[in-house]
Amino acid sequence: MAETSNLLKVTQEKDVKVVEFTNNKIIDEANISEIEQILVALIDEKAQPKLLLDFATVDHLSSAALGMLININNRIKLKNGQLRLTNIKPQIYEVFVITQLNKLFKILPTRPAAAASFS
């Protein structure tokens, strides 16, 4: 069953929570904070959370959004969980390359590839 907010759509695929961004911008501090709260709640639900973030709709993000993603990654790592990012548009992927966060995050080109990469 899908859980939705104004900013995210969350579905379950096997033992993976799949999160789609419903807004094309992850910029506003208030929105970033709300997204973070929802993701933290999803992480807290499971002993070893598996989270797949689908960026298909995202056209813009800011350094504050990157900070939020790093916090989410750190929280998941603390619980020995797994985080995957997918469907990142080339323009947005360049932001990850410039900041070298493409080395920190596991980024897969498609959702099936990302889903298959969970162990």
Q: CB 67 → other proteins: shortest distance, Å?
A: 4
Would you say 12 or 91 has its CB closer to other proteins? 91
Would you say 40 or 104 has its CB closer to other proteins? 104
In three-state secondary structure terms, 96 is helix
In three-state secondary structure terms, 41 is helix
Would you say 2 or 30 has its CB closer to other proteins? 30
Q: CB 22 → other proteins: shortest distance, Å?
A: 19
Which residue matches tokens 């990850």?
A: 96
Alpha-carbon distance 72 to 93, whole Å?
A: 18
- Where do contacts with other proteins occur on this chain (CB under 8 A)? 27-30, 60, 62-64, 66-68, 70-71, 73-74, 91, 95, 98-101, 103-104
Alpha-carbon distance 36 to 39, whole Å?
A: 5
Q: CB 100 → other proteins: shortest distance, Å?
A: 4
In three-state secondary structure terms, 49 is coil
